[in-house]
Amino acid sequence: MQGAVSAREFSLDGNLFADSHKVTRTPLVGEMHAGLAFQWGPVQLAVSRVARSREFSEQGRRHAFGQVFIGIPALRW
């Protein structure tokens, strides 16, 4: 679990030099990671899920995503 605070986020706060689109940013954002990893012989498999709290008030719901990693060592010549 981790959290972050940012003074300025250009993708949410808008352009520094001109008037542009912006949203009402949430200054403190939390993020939680959970996952499992397995190794079966030379093959590695990892599955993880990441959930983030809302980054701005207009955001409908929190952002969540998952990832799958499959690793096989490179062949030696």
Model confidence over 3-61: pLDDT tens digits?
666 666 656 666 667 677 767 777 778 888 999 999 999 899 999 999 988 877 777 77
Q: What is the pTM of this model?
A: 0.59
Q: Is there a contact between 32 and 50 (Cβ–Cβ < 8 Å)? A: yes
pLDDT at 7: 64
Higher per-residue confidence, 34 vs 76: 34
- Supply the pLDDT for residue 11: 64
pLDDT at 58: 76
- Tell me how many helices (H) and strands (E) the chain has: 1, 4
- CA distance from start to end of the chain: 42
